[in-house]
Amino acid sequence: MLPTITVDDKKCNDPLACRKCLLICPSHALGLGTKVGPRKFKEIDPDQFMVAGVRYEKCTVCMDCVKVCPKSAIQVSFLTEVKK
């Protein structure tokens, strides 16, 4: 089983400037991406950056990112399988 990490992109609107979650994660499990690829002569708008789970296999569900996020944008959950 892997944890689920979801980031509400509407709440998290300038992650490159904030980056609190990226810095606090002990596993470096989160990453920063962009919704558009590089384009000629154009910088990418700050609100086109987004945080997402990357190294799910290293996430321990410690909730540090959830707690540190000033916008309450991150949810982390871990569903243990029910044995039949």
Partner 1 sequence: MCEWCERYAEGHERWYFNPANYARKLYKIRKEEGPEIQPDPVVAGGMSLLDRGFLEALDRKDHEAVAKMRHDVEQLAWKVHFGQVVTLEDTLKVVDIIYPIALMTCACRRSMLGLPDEENFTCMGMGTGMYKWERWPQTYRGGIQFLAPDEAKDVITKMNKRGLVQTLFTFGTPYIGGICNCDYPDCSAIRTTVDHGIQFLWKGHHIARVDNELCNGCTSCVHRCQFKALSFSATQNKAYIDPFQCFGCGLCATECSQEAISMVERASMPALANVW
Query: CB 76: neighbour CB atoms within 10 A?
Result: 20
We find the least distance from the C-beta atom of residue 5 to partner 1, in angstroms, to be 10
CB-wise, 52 or 63, nearer to partner 1? Answer: 52
CB-wise, 35 or 67, nearer to partner 1? Answer: 35
Query: CB 47: neighbour CB atoms within 10 A?
Result: 14
In 3D space, the residue among 4, 70, 55 whose CA is nearest the CA of residue 25 turns out to be 55
We find the least distance from the C-beta atom of residue 15 to partner 1, in angstroms, to be 7
- Per CB under 8 A, residues contacting partner 1 are 1-2, 15-16, 18-19, 22-23, 28, 31-44, 50, 52-58
31 membership: H or E segment, kind and range:
strand 30-34
We find the least distance from the C-beta atom of residue 65 to partner 1, in angstroms, to be 13
Distance CA 11, CA 72 (A): 8
